[in-house]
């Protein structure tokens, strides 16, 4: 063995730092996921005719439909309002999740790998 003994993998100190960063990121991600599960996002469309509420797991929690929106001669309009409300609430949940993920990864120096995430 060469003088000084085995030095381990190249950039050993950097690898330990990367491992610590990855472990912290994993803990932060789990915490964020738990918080997201408890958050609710709502969207109201059609001038308040339809309101959808979803959680951070993209599960529809509730739907409120104003009785005035129920027109037997125009069921398609009500269907469109329901779809629009659910999609908007889901978009809000996704936007919040992406913002949280950006906070977690924004401070992490990923070097050349940054474009992969």
CATH code for the domain in which residue 22 is found: 3.30.1310.10
Residue 31, helix vs strand vs coil = helix
pLDDT at 26 (0 to 100): 86
pTM above 0.85, yes or no: no
Q: What is the dihedral of CA 32, 33, 39, 44, to 10 degrees?
A: 110
Is residue 110 in a domain?
Answer: no
In the chain, the number of structural domains is 1
Residue 5 lies in a domain: no
pLDDT of residue 60: 95
Q: Compute the C-alpha angle 79/80/85, nearest 5°.
A: 100
Boundaries of domain holding 94:
14-104
Q: What is the pLDDT along the chain (117 residues), one digit of tens a residue?
A: 455 555 555 555 568 888 888 888 888 888 888 888 889 999 999 999 999 999 988 899 999 999 999 999 999 999 999 999 999 999 999 998 888 878 877 755 555 444 444
66 phi-psi bin (left φ>0, alpha ψ -120 to 50, beta other): beta
N-term to C-term CA, the chain: 41
């Amino acid at each position: 063995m060469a003088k000084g003994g085995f030095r381990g993998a190249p950039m050993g100190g950097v690898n330990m730092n990367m491992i610590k960063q990855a472990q912290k990121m994993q803990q932060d991600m789990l915490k964020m996921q738990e918080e997201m599960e408890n958050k609710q996002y709502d969207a109201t469309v059609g001038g308040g005719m339809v309101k959808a509420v979803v959680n951070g797991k993209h599960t529809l929690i509730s739907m409120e439909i104003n009785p005035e929106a129920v027109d037997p001669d125009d069921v398609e309009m009500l269907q469109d309002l329901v779809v629009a409300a659910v999609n908007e609430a889901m978009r809000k949940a996704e936007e919040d999740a992406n913002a949280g993920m950006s906070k977690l990864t924004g401070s992490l120096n990923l070097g050349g790998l940054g474009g992969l995430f």
